Each structure stands twice: as structure tokens, then as C-alpha cells.
Structure 1
């Protein structure tokens, strides 16, 4: 079991930043500003905003089995409605809401399309090869996230003819344009087309800070995630291996049981989402208050829920404990220091502004898990176990390689199965649940494996949402209906 520490002064000091640099360049009149964008460096600067700057963590985590009703706490509408599987009646201006995420994804897509349009009209489009690659990857990623949350989840064993989301490939030239949802299958086809066209064009040498853009590692990580959903395991393995080239993935995993082990909460917050951390492959500035309220949400991680999540350590021989530092603030408000808020004032003397976190949207750990899962389905049991044990070596306290091992026998015993592959898959899902707690990643696995969800309220109401329940789909924003986009049935 982890040592639990009380941390009172969580939010005493929030760094206050002022909009500058790229934001100033991009905040002027779009048509006039973008008419002056004609060099690769300027297109690269434009593409820093081709990523959704809205958060998915709150609604994704709140729908998952990582949270429970504490009975009291921060009453955030996205947190509450998502836990109860109700429509989130929060506007596009409200941080962390599905409506904001929808709008931010399409804003990012619009920027990517604008960049592609500039490149196509250039006298020398060959000068923009890397920028074209990034724009295609950014466009594919935003559509992938949209279809994952706002449509029925992709199932490679089905026709996937359910309504998708509009796949937008051209800059908007009219104030109000009608869009067609088409099908989930069509959206996946278009994502794959952009992904495969853009990935070979990515160049790490193009950017000052590559981790704020789709670099080679992040692009391959995205490909491994995409093909994991499609269950094309040979391609998952291919792209997971290419994410780090000939370098060892071990050097890129978070050092929770060494370097991180001696850090205070403030020190962890300061480095977790930094570009100098090898584990972070792609970082996106996200308008979100999750850094402020993650421990305080009414529907969040309690100590009992943490015991359930962290029980995955039981699959490891030697009775180890996880090295994740668990803290609490007040009654039953638990958290692991990860995402830290910084506040951007509207002006120098303003008292109002926007809260942001830097969000790692692709990490080395995800690539490792994707590779282990792919190898399990490809029958490469030994390779899967190597990756699983590599993860363990960075996560348990006082790690002893001769004692702290995951074996076929330990997995079968812990999960009560005679099937080694099932044991591996269950182990990977359980370890991912621990690793990405409070980051919103668990919901993807629950969707991929069609895991039912039951949320119990303090009043005794049980909300059970099976895999086929349409309430698992986020509702299309009401404002999108003005563009002819039909809402989801509930």
C-alpha cells in the first residue's frame, strides 16, 4: 500500500502568465494575418494552435469506473452530469465541458486546414513538407478524438454504419455551412488516410520545442493508438517500435520509484507535464480547472476507490507497493500530483482570466502498453511479459528484479483464469488504470473492451450503463445543429 500524505497548501501559488508571442501573432484578424504567413517557420507557428485546447480529462474520468460519489465536494456541472450519464448542459465557454472540447477540436481542424491551404497555394510547396505532415496528423487526431467521444465507439467486427462526426478537410469560407456526419467507418477511413500520408513527412528538426508539435515519436504513438482501436495488432507493433527507433523505451518511462520518489507535490507538479520529461511525447496547452479541483470534485477518487485501482499490484510477485505518491486534501479527497494549473490574466491588471494545464496527450507509457497488448494478441507472450516487467521495474518501491516479477502463473492466479493471453490483457488494463488515473485515459479502454459501468450515488441509486447504452456517447452540441448536424439519441 502507498504511504498517504496530507497536503494542505495545494493551490496557494499559481503561476500567472500573460499572453504573448505566438498568441499575439495569431489573435489579430485571421484573414489579414494569415495572408502574411508564407514561410515554413510561420506555418509552424500557426500549427502550434492546431491542437484542441479544451480538456477531455474531467468528462472522460467522470464517466469511468475510477470515481465514486463522495456526497459532497466541488459541484462542477461536467463532473456531475458525466458521472450521472446525463447531458452536460455546459456552454462552449465553460472549461472542461464536452461543448468546449467539440468546439476546440473543430477550431484545431480549421487551423490545420488553413495551414494546408497556405501550403497548397505556395510557389514552393516542397519547402513545407514537415508542416504538411504536422497539419495532416493534427487534423487526423482531432477527428479521432471527436469520433471517439461523440459517436458509437469503433468496433472492427461491425460495419460501423452509425453516425460519425463531420470530417472537415477544407477551410471554412462561409459563415454558416451545412455538414454531414456520414458514418463512423467513413471517419476512420479519412483518419487513416491523413495519418498515413502525414506520418512519413514529420521531421523532428523543424521545431524549437518538438514536444509541442507532432514529432516522430508522438506521430507513431498516435498510429499505435489508432490501430489498437482497429485491432490491427501487426501495425500497432510496427508503430510502437518506430516511436523510439533504435532507442530503449526504458529510458523514456517516468522514474516514479527513483527520481520522482523524493519529490514534493510542488516539485512533481512542476515537472510532470514538462517538455524535458522523456515520457511526454506530445504536450498541449489546455483550458481546464482540473489542476485546481481534481481532488475536490464531488465525483472523484476516494481512498476506497484508490484501493480498488491500486490492487493491481497483487499480480506482481513479492508483495510490492506502488511508488505513486498518494495525497489527500480534506475528507476523502485523494490525488496524485500530475497536472498543475497556471493562470493567464486577460490583461496585466485584470483579476479574471483563464486557467490552463499542460496535458500530455501521448506518453511513452502508452506506447509500451500498446506494444505489450499487440504482442499478446500476436502470440508473443514472452515479449509482452518483458514490457510488463519493464513497467513494473519503474513503478514499485524498493524494486528487486529477482522478486518483483509478473509471470504467467501470477497473472492466472490473480485474475482466476487459465488463459495466459487473458491474464496478460487483464494485467495491461489494470496497470494502465493505475498509471493514468485522473488523466481520463481509462474511458478509452472501457470503450474498447465494452466494459459496463455502474455508478452508485450516496442516496443508493445505481446507474448502470452497459456497452450498448447510447448515454455513453457525448451529446452533439446544440449549436452544431445550426450546421445541420443531427444530435445523438439518448
Structure 2
């Protein structure tokens, strides 16, 4: 009887060990450029249905177009966005005192983390150098775009004379999550880092010059972002130059 119990225990624990050694069915480890491409497209791209900063439109002349966009709920978005619509010191608060959720910080930095993974790890993937360069161009574009949005949401407006002292945003170039304190760069340094990514993106996408659908980042998209970047930086010659390229 004891031998039978011992056998059952051994089989049970050896089975548990084998079970625990099984790899996760949900874990995907990218090995090829195609894997990384699907990873960036699926996790890094920002979808139209992603609610990030619905309050921006009610701070502009577009407010008349956006004010009554929820007819089913019989609601005016200026109610929930009162703090932004009326340019309050603490715009996150509604007229009732309730606090709005700001998803922009979390969303953009999570997308940046995805881009960092592609930029740092793609070199060891299986695939042609041309395919790698094209995907890197997309990743640099995505990171530049996210930081551009963040610096204009949370940094000070760009003025060349004060950019060296004005506050920008923190930058993260890690491809894994680490517990550390990030400091805010100056506005000048923030724009410099964004411009570096943008130039890399344009160079790579121009070099590969792949024909793409409207659903993937292309050199045309990079030119468009560059035109907007230089418009905000008040470098109007560059803004016009890139707008013409689009």
C-alpha cells in the first residue's frame, strides 16, 4: 500500500513539474521581422477608437462641430469637458467637481515602450535588412509622434528664446519596465530628441521607399508629421518644405 502511495505521489509531482514547465499559450516571442511588424501594428499603432484626449476639440474653433456628438445620451461634451472648455486652472475637474480621466499619459508612454522594443531588439530578428530598416522607420515615427503629442499636452509652448529653461517631458528609451525616477527634460532638449527620431524615420522610409496601404506608416506620413513638428517649433521654412513633399 505504501509503495502505491509513493508511486502516486511521484507521478503527481512529476506531472505537476511537467505542467509548470509548459510555455504559456499566450506568450509570443518575436523571432522574425514579420513577427515584430505584427507586434508594432497590433500593440503600438493608435486606433481611431482609442479614447485618449477627447477634450482637445472643445478647446478649439471645432467646438461647434463637436459639442453635440452624443445625441443618444442627450449630452453636450462641454459639460464633461467644462474645465477645458472654460480654460480652468485645473481642467481635469468637471463642473460638478468630478474628476475626468486623462488617458493620454498612460497611452502614449505604453506605445513608446512598444516602439522601444522594436528599435532595440529588431537587429537580431530573421529577415532582410531592407525589411528591418522599413520597420525601424515606422517605430521611430511612432515614438516621435507620441513624444510630440506628450510635449504639447504637458510641456510648455515652444519659444526659441526660453526653450532652454522651459519644461518639457520625461523620455524613456528602455525596452523593459524598470523602477526608476524619470526627470523632465527641457523643452529644447525634448524637441531635439523628437527631431532626432523624426529624421531617422524619414531617412529609413525614404531609403526603403516601400509602397504601402494607408493603414501603415509611410514616408508621406513622416513628411506630414515633420511639417506639423516644424510648425509648432516655428521653423516655417521647414514646415513648408515638408508640407510640399506630402
**Is residue 205 of structure 2 the alignment partner of residue 205 of structure 1?**
no
**Is residue 150 of structure 2 the alignment partner of residue 146 of structure 1?**
yes
Seen in structure 2, the aligned counterparts of structure 1 residues 179 and 200 have a Cα distance that, compared at 3 Å, is same
Partner of 1:473: none
Partner of 1:43: 36
Q: Given that residues 82 and 91 in structure 2 are in contact (C-alpha distance below 8 angstroms), is that contact kept between their aligned partners in structure 1?
A: no
Partner of 1:82: 84
Q: Given that residues 161 and 183 in structure 1 are in contact (C-alpha distance below 8 angstroms), is that contact kept between their aligned partners in structure 2?
A: yes
Partner of 2:132: 128
Deviations 1:111-138 (A, max 9, x none): 1011112213347672400001110110
Deviations 1:314-349 (A, max 9, x none): xxxxxxxxxxxxxxxxxxxxxxxxxxxxxxxxxxxx
Q: CA deviation at 1:232?
A: 1.9
CA RMSD, 1 decimal: 2.9
Paired residues, what number?
A: 202
CA–CA distance in 2 between the matches of 1:98 and 1:185? 29
Q: CA deviation at 1:177?
A: 2.9
When normalised by structure 1's length, the TM-score is: 0.37
Matches within 5 A, 1:399-438: none
CA–CA distance in 1 between the matches of 2:162 and 2:194? 18
Matches within 5 A, 1:12-411: 32-33=27-28, 35=29, 37-48=30-41, 49-53=43-47, 54-55=50-51, 58-67=54-63, 73-74=75-76, 78-84=80-86, 85=88, 86-89=90-93, 99-122=102-125, 126=129, 127-174=131-178, 176-202=179-205, 203=208, 205=210, 207=212, 210-243=213-246
Q: CA deviation at 1:40?
A: 2.0
Q: CA deviation at 1:221?
A: 0.4
Q: CA deviation at 1:155?
A: 1.6
Higher relative contact order (CA 8 A, sep 6+): 1
When normalised by structure 2's length, the TM-score is: 0.71
* Structure with bigger gyration radius: 2
Q: CA deviation at 1:234?
A: 2.4
Q: Given that residues 51 and 142 in structure 1 are in contact (C-alpha distance below 8 angstroms), is that contact kept between their aligned partners in structure 2?
A: no
CA–CA distance in 2 between the matches of 1:166 and 1:43? 26
Q: CA deviation at 1:75?
A: 6.0
CA–CA distance in 1 between the matches of 2:114 and 2:80? 27
Q: CA deviation at 1:160?
A: 4.3
Following TM superposition, the consecutive aligned residue runs of length 4 or more in structure 1 with deviations greater than 6 angstroms are none
